[in-house]
Chain A
Amino acid sequence: MLAYIIRRVAQSVLVLLVTGFVAFSMFSFVGDPIDNMLGQERTQADVERLRTQLGLDQPFPVQYYKFLEQAVQGNFGLSYRQGRPVSEILVERLPATLELAAVSGLLALAGGIGFGIFTAIRRRGPSASTIMTLSLIGVSLPTFLIGILLIYLFSVELGWLPSFGRGQVVDLGWWSTGFLTESGLKALILPAITLGLYQMTLIMRLVRTEMLEVLRMDYIRFARARGIREKSINFRHALKNTLVPVITITGLQLGSIIAFAIITETVFQWPGVGLLFINAIQFVDIPVMAAYLMMISVMFVGINLIVDMLYFAIDPRLRVDRTAGGH
């Protein structure tokens, strides 16, 4: 198992090196940053001086190495637009995105697994069919449209929930949370539903399909033939076998919840990293974009790594080193 972990970590590092390269390439290939930093009134000497000062006159590999060296330490340079360190801006914005992603992720998981099991067990029931039909809407409607519809219904028409922003936040030093105030929690509801709905329906359909598949297996029949209770068959025998593929997809989906929070954050003007990224694109704020790219890839790789570890916890067949004799 240790060898496996080491191999997976090595693969992850490789992936990060490649995305780092892409992020870094933006500096060189998306216009000349010197142009952006110096105004119209500039001399060739100014350009040369800044170029040397920023190290942009050095060969490409050297520049890449320096970029990586700095990135590992969390230093992505200064934002072109705000003139502040990018890492500082990201850390400021990250709690908003992570809280939103965590809530919608939980929503998607709980709802997806719950409804998935329900629709699989009550396959022919009318409520299961209704849920399945509704889930089609969740899969096919684009996120921004769901967000706008929710705003229209709950903010404009009913006036129950705020339509934008994060409400009041409480500062806990390095983390600002919206969980502790009423307005913060209220503001979280609509964006969390918007962001989590698609994932929820996806997980639900996946769990349902897997569960139906598992319920047809011989060992389920055998468990029935032994007089095991339906409840135990569904939740002990079937659910566990359903979870292996579900974890894979769910892991990737949770990664994309963070990554694709961009749209939801834009619709709800949620002050997270997604909104920061959209603004950065508008102003060609490359250090911010590069840092965002790196951050998302670290998250994806990290989540994948955790998912791979989870397989071991669930499926004993992967714990090869335990195998005893008996053949």
Chain B
Amino acid sequence: MTTPVLSVRDLVVEIPTRRGVLRPVDQVSYDIHAGEILGVVGESGAGKSMTGNAVIGLLDRPARIVSGEVLLSGEPVHALKGERLRKLRGKKMGMIFQDPLTSLNPLLTIGEQLTETILEHLDVTQSEARERAIAALDEVGIPAARQRIGSYPHEFSGGMRQRVVIALALCAEPDLVIADEPTTALDVSVQAQIVALLKRLCREKGVAVMLVTHDMGVIAEAADRVAVMYAGRLAELGPVREVITNARHPYTAGLMASTPVASQGHRRLRQIPGAMPRLDNLPSGCAFHPRCDRAEPRCREEPGPSLEACDGRAACWFPLTEKTEVSA
């Protein structure tokens, strides 16, 4: 088997605070291969974005990686700092942020921001960089790219700006792109376009994409595999079809039952009772047990098992079996 583009191994991120050490990311492991989209879902605060930030080395202090590994095409990058890390960013791994309105510098033209990035990472002349910038804009579907390259960000609409952001993240041809909620701030009609664009670029360029979102619809549309996170841990990991139709972890099942599906008409949405615990107040045992209707004494006493306990799919002592009706 080929080396995955991104390989995260037992990653632990901690934030030391006055009231103790918080663990927003706890023992997370997954791989992403070239041309593959891994969706990472979960509620707010589940550690999705924190994982993405840890991979690209953009954790805000005092958060830090305390153990585990991040391998980029087999090379460890979690311990890199300063110049060596900077040279990887943009060139080997790019990132797309949530809000296209704030991720572009308002005082520089999009052409300036593109050529700057290209010149930083690729050995090209100024005019070649400009041509590449135009090609990059063309690729993400900016009409009349040659004319628009001198425009400022405020002269574009939200969806167009997110296209520019994607062009920026991809212009130095990275192997991995971390898309942190790339559609959350957009209109629904534009969301689908952006998801389709990400999917196309991923397939055409063979880029590995880590798609962080809380929108199951986006995951179903774009991802090949999905990682469900809960309170900093992986709850379930598997091919997207299987996870959606046949969730093994009760949390995933609850998440699916609470996602509206237009084709099913006015079905009453089920919600998962309670809320995700705060990181400074995690329950004993499995963090999901207070909200889980399948919880047994063991769940209160022992932390959830590793994914291997259930065919490498779900971190649950009592996973739902194939036949079990969704009952969360």
- Chain A residue at smallest Cβ distance from B85: A227
Q: How far is the CA of A322 from the CA of B147 in the complex (A)?
A: 13
- Asked if A221 and B121 make an inter-chain contact with CB atoms under 8 angstroms apart, the answer reads no
- Chain B residue at smallest Cβ distance from A223: B105
Q: A317 near B: Cβ within 8 Å?
A: yes
- Asked if A222 and B154 make an inter-chain contact with CB atoms under 8 angstroms apart, the answer reads no
- Asked if A241 and B105 make an inter-chain contact with CB atoms under 8 angstroms apart, the answer reads yes
- Asked if B90 and A228 make an inter-chain contact with CB atoms under 8 angstroms apart, the answer reads yes
- Asked if A219 and B90 make an inter-chain contact with CB atoms under 8 angstroms apart, the answer reads no
- Asked if B89 and A218 make an inter-chain contact with CB atoms under 8 angstroms apart, the answer reads no
- Asked if B89 and A227 make an inter-chain contact with CB atoms under 8 angstroms apart, the answer reads yes
- Asked if A232 and B116 make an inter-chain contact with CB atoms under 8 angstroms apart, the answer reads yes
Smallest CB separation, B296 vs chain A (Å)? 44
- Asked if B97 and A218 make an inter-chain contact with CB atoms under 8 angstroms apart, the answer reads yes
Q: B56 near A: Cβ within 8 Å?
A: yes
User: 1/0 per residue B60-104: CB within 8 Å of A?
Assistant: 000000000000000000000000001111110011010100111
- Chain A residue at smallest Cβ distance from B82: A230
Q: Which of B85-131 contact A (CB under 8 A)?
A: 86-91, 94-95, 97, 99, 102-109, 113, 116-117, 120-121
Q: How far is the CA of A96 from the CA of B99 in the complex (A)?
A: 53
Measured as residues with beta carbon below 8 angstroms from the partner, the interface class of chain B is 35 or more
Q: With A226-B169, A227-B121 in contact, is A241–B94 under 8 Å at CB? A: no
Chain A residue total in the interface (Cβ 8 A): 27
- Asked if A324 and B155 make an inter-chain contact with CB atoms under 8 angstroms apart, the answer reads yes
User: 1/0 per residue A296-327: CB within 8 Å of B?
Assistant: 00000000000000000011110000111011
Most buried by B among A224, A232, A241: A224
Q: A42 near B: Cβ within 8 Å?
A: no
Smallest CB separation, A317 vs chain B (Å)? 5
Q: How far is the CA of A326 from the CA of B159 in the complex (A)?
A: 10
Q: B157 near A: Cβ within 8 Å?
A: yes
Q: A240 near B: Cβ within 8 Å?
A: yes
- Chain B residue at smallest Cβ distance from A241: B107
**Cβ contacts under 8 Å, A227 to chain B:** 86-91, 117, 120-121, 172
Smallest CB separation, A325 vs chain B (Å)? 9
Most buried by B among A219, A224, A236, A240: A219
- Chain B residue at smallest Cβ distance from A243: B107
**Cβ contacts under 8 Å, B160 to chain A:** 326-327
Q: B208 near A: Cβ within 8 Å?
A: no
**Cβ contacts under 8 Å, A317 to chain B:** 106, 152, 154
Q: With A217-B102, A326-B157 in contact, is A224–B120 under 8 Å at CB? A: no
**Cβ contacts under 8 Å, A236 to chain B:** 108, 116
Within 8 Å by CB of A327, from B89, B107, B157, B168, lies B157
- Chain B residue at smallest Cβ distance from A238: B105
Q: B34 near A: Cβ within 8 Å?
A: no
- Asked if B116 and A323 make an inter-chain contact with CB atoms under 8 angstroms apart, the answer reads no
Within 8 Å by CB of A222, from B87, B151, B165, lies B165
Q: Which of A237-287 contact B (CB under 8 A)?
A: 237, 240-241
Q: How far is the CA of A222 from the CA of B172 in the complex (A)?
A: 14
- Asked if B106 and A241 make an inter-chain contact with CB atoms under 8 angstroms apart, the answer reads yes
Q: B300 near A: Cβ within 8 Å?
A: no
**Cβ contacts under 8 Å, A240 to chain B:** 107-108
Q: A45 near B: Cβ within 8 Å?
A: no
- Chain A residue at smallest Cβ distance from B152: A316
Q: B156 near A: Cβ within 8 Å?
A: yes
- Asked if A225 and B90 make an inter-chain contact with CB atoms under 8 angstroms apart, the answer reads yes
**Cβ contacts under 8 Å, B104 to chain A:** 219, 222
Q: Which of A119-164 contact B (CB under 8 A)?
A: none
Q: How far is the CA of A61 from the CA of B169 in the complex (A)?
A: 68
- Asked if A323 and B89 make an inter-chain contact with CB atoms under 8 angstroms apart, the answer reads no
Q: How far is the CA of A217 from the CA of B88 in the complex (A)?
A: 22
Q: B148 near A: Cβ within 8 Å?
A: yes
Q: Which of A197-238 contact B (CB under 8 A)?
A: 217-219, 221-230, 232, 236-237
**Cβ contacts under 8 Å, B56 to chain A:** 225
Smallest CB separation, B4 vs chain A (Å)? 21
Q: B261 near A: Cβ within 8 Å?
A: no
Residues of A within 8 A of B (CB): 217-219, 221-230, 232, 236-237, 240-241, 314-317, 322-324, 326-327
6 cross-chain CB contacts under 8 A: A217-B102, A222-B95, A225-B56, A225-B97, A226-B90, A323-B154
Contacts beyond the supplied A217-B102, A326-B160: 18 A-B pairs with Cβ under 8 Å: A218-B102, A219-B104, A222-B168, A225-B58, A225-B94, A225-B169, A226-B172, A227-B87, A227-B89, A227-B90, A227-B91, A227-B121, A240-B108, A241-B106, A314-B107, A323-B155, A326-B157, A327-B156
